Chains A and B, each alone.
Chain A
Amino acid sequence: MSRKIISMLLVAILVLSLLAGCGSKDLEQPAGGNEPTGGQQSGGDKQETVAKGNEQIVVALEADITSLDPQGHNDVMSEKVSFLVFNRLFRLNEDFEAIPDLAEDWSQPSDKEWLLKIKEGVNFHNGEEMTAEDVKFSMERSIESPKVQHVLEQLEKVEVVDKYTVKVTTKDVFAPFINTLVHAGISVLPKDYVESNPDWANKPIGSGQYKFVEWVSGDKIVLEKNEDYYDKGEVGVADKIVFRVIPEGTSRTIALETGEVDVVVSLEAMDAPKVRDNSDLTLYEKPSTNFSYLGMNTQKAPFNDKKFRQAMNYAIDKEAILAIALDGEGVIATSMTSDALLGHVASDYDYDPDRALELLKESGKEGISIEIWASGDVRKRVAEIAQANLLDIGISSEIKMYEWGAFIDATNSGSQPMFTLGWDSNPDVDATLTPQFTTGSIGAQNRAQYSSDKVDRLIAEGRAELDNVKRKEIYEEIYRTLNDDAPWVPLYIENKIVGARAGLKEVKLNSQGLIDLHKLHY
């Protein structure tokens, strides 16, 4: 009889432990907020050692590229391939500034017109010379492509002036114009080839340092050197560049350790110390443009009270969030963008729970409860720390987790409360301010539902102001206003972390990650 009881107890224990173990396995969510999945989404045929000569450089990517057509994607991952196969009029250097690539000369005959002359003698991989027709074609095509049409949204028309010059007319006076031309979506495509080959994206032809060889879906992309690259000072070094898709962070690091890959584009933050301590490997870091914040729906109580929002800015311990969410691999954000952008003014907020409590009392909102919405592992940790911080000042909060697609919808529904999200900045400050803080952007990217006539006006002025000094002043005023209105609690800016074999040279990063891959060599 007692044996029966014991065995039943054992069975009960087994069943209970089964149920305890049964949580849903959280599949890797994209770490980023507004980043597309791919973006902040390959192997030698030798087993152990990789080619130590420069026959082949292998780059590990965290997700497969979306498209070989530079106008068929809008993510940083696919850009890396596009930048090697194609050229743009301008590109970004290490300091995130736009420098000329194909552009030889540019000027503004009038406020809304831009004359752009490309270099002569640039050949596509099929031998044909690039002309202004190709530039015009590429620009017009970009507006037709859903994924990149927002880049040249200001384009009114583009005309061919002579064999190597185009004239672009913008709808409004648009100061950031040059900066928009660095986007992969404005790569110059070979007009004849694209028009005569509807399937051209499967065998793309560009003018870049590397030619396309093959794309094995989900596995790798292979490129080979273009010996006839137009700029002899920027020719590719390695004979071949292979991009290998390795979704699992640990596997990427291991592939680097075994030498199967030469460089890992997004190293897992927690593997950074291991790579740092390994003498065969080198770690490279740079603050990215990837910005994380706690947004607040300024049209919904209690977040519609400015004092309450300011209280939030004093209540959150950003150092703790940086340490826990990112293993410290980043910097604290002091305003609505990274400090590299034009006009940035740091706010005065710091971690001061007493001041937060004071402001709470002034706003009459002590002891209330709110909700915090988040998506994905990293953001969940951020929300948890915020929750703890808020509890310290007497505010209780409930965290609601969402699946990514649902989250994007829900945070635009109008009923979103406080939420945590990220944003990837573009070199021009307007490209962040307009989508995030203009009234017209509510329901699209402006999830804080922030609306201020003053800021709307200033943003429009800033976009149209061609004098850089005056432009800076306008943006400084915007930053000061936003800091005061506090639609967000800016949190941190992630570091881009790249790991490479120690002997690999010319590993350059800008805030969007690894650049100038054509220069990589041993």
Chain B
Amino acid sequence: MIKYILRRLMFLIPVVIAVTFVVFFIVSLSPGNIAAMIIGDGATKESIEQLTEEMGLNDPIIVQYGRYISKLVTGDMGKSYATGKDVSSEIASRFPNTLKLTILSIIISVGISIPIGVISATKQYSILDYVGMVLALIGISMPSFWFGLMLIIRFALKLGWFPSGGAEGWTSIILPAVTLGVASTASITRVARSSMLEVLPQDYIRTAKAKGVNKKDVIMTHALKNALIPTITIIGLEFGELLGGAILTETVFSWPGIGRLMVESINRKDIPMVLGTIIVFAVGFSIVNLIVDILYAYIDPRIKANYR
């Protein structure tokens, strides 16, 4: 098992190289003169050329990439083209915010979707089932920024229970987490429901019922546990997506996470920052997938046996 985990962690290196390679080239080749954007107003031809030369932007892209990678292996992600600050410290200060928000959102999401999914499955075709599915559909159809704004207007403006944005105090995370949580609910609910529906007619469930196991245990211990594999997969995927930074939600709530940072950097062609945020995203996503795979092993002993 340990060997398996270590091997998976080693895979992160080629992942990071591949991702940075592709992103570096795409951003470098996209139109827009970096030096001109950095200087802004008042840029003269001479100052643009001078800055371009100073930043080494006239070198072939592969050379620039080589420079970046050689610094990256020492842990230096470079300095932001826009602000001149260290990319690593910027990301280090903003990533925890995204992490906090993501974790809380997933908890909210799972807290809503698993019960709804299970109830919908066990009481299939009942009114609860239809209501649950419609709610899930509404959840995924609402644009997150609209829903976020609605929450702000109702709970921050009209009722004053929560701040309308920012990251001050524990109350400021609630509204953005609910916004994001609701958006993820739909897919998790549907998968929970459909995998429960697959599990419930199985023979071993009938056996358990016949044995006299009480209803709750049948559902929770015997059925749910088996239905968890696909469900955890989707939870992992949703978590990974949220980790990339729920940009719209972060913008609406002025939440200082890396999603906003990533988009702002792309707009400014701030290559070191773009690469930094994307590396964090790629690594984060890979680790989440790894955790999901490890969880499989604990849920299903058959899978554990396969992990050599």
Contact = CB atoms under 8 A, between A and B. Distances in A.
B254 A149 contact: no
A219 B257 CA distance: 9
Contacts of A218: 94, 256-257, 260-261
A435 B42 CA distance: 7
A405 interface: yes
B interface residue count range (under 10 / 10 to 19 / 20 to 34 / 35 or more): 35 or more
Contacts of A458: none
B166 A254 contact: no
A291 to B, nearest CB: 12
B33 interface: yes
Nearest to B40: A36
B163 A47 contact: yes
B82 interface: yes
Given A146-B50, A219-B256, A251-B152, A444 B160 contact: no
Contact of A146 (B51, B83, B269): B51
Contacts of B41: 34-36, 74, 424
Interface in B218-242: none
Contacts of A202: 85
Interface string A62-83: 0110110100101100000000
Interface in B248-287: 251-254, 256-257, 260-261, 263-264, 267-269
B292 interface: no
Contact of A219 (B31, B161, B166): B166
Interface in A31-46: 34-37, 39, 42-45
Interface string B18-42: 0000000000001111011111111
B45 interface: yes
A149 B43 CA distance: 9
Interface string A144-159: 0011011101000000
B164 A251 contact: yes
Interface in A364-410: 403-406, 408-410
B228 to A, nearest CB: 30
Chain A interface size band reads 35 or more
B269 A245 contact: no
B31 A406 contact: yes
Contacts of B166: 42-43, 219-220, 244, 246, 260
A441 interface: yes
A503 interface: no
Given A74-B41, A146-B50, A251-B152, A246 B254 contact: yes
A147 to B, nearest CB: 6
B265 to A, nearest CB: 11
B54 interface: yes
A27 B168 CA distance: 26
Contacts of A201: 84
B162 interface: yes
Contact of B160 (A48, A72, A405): A48
B244 interface: no
B267 A37 contact: yes
Contacts of B251: 28, 247-248
A245 B254 contact: yes
Nearest to A201: B84
Contacts of A66: 82-83
Contacts of A39: 40
Given A43-B165, A150-B44, A444-B48, A258 B83 contact: no
A43 to B, nearest CB: 4
A121 interface: no
B13 interface: no
Contacts of B269: 405
A63 B261 CA distance: 11
B290 interface: no
Contacts of B32: 403-406, 408-409
B103 interface: no
B167 A45 contact: no
A217 B256 contact: yes
B96 to A, nearest CB: 12
A251 B252 contact: yes
Interface of A: 27-28, 34-37, 39, 42-45, 47-48, 63-64, 66-67, 69, 72, 74-75, 146-147, 149-151, 153, 201-202, 216-220, 244-248, 250-251, 254-255, 257-258, 260, 403-406, 408-410, 424, 431, 435, 441, 443-445
Given A405-B32, A409-B32, 12 more contacts: A35-B40, A37-B37, A72-B83, A150-B44, A150-B47, A217-B85, A219-B167, A248-B254, A254-B157, A258-B163, A403-B31, A403-B32
9 contacts: A45-B168, A47-B169, A72-B83, A216-B93, A247-B260, A248-B251, A248-B254, A258-B160, A444-B43
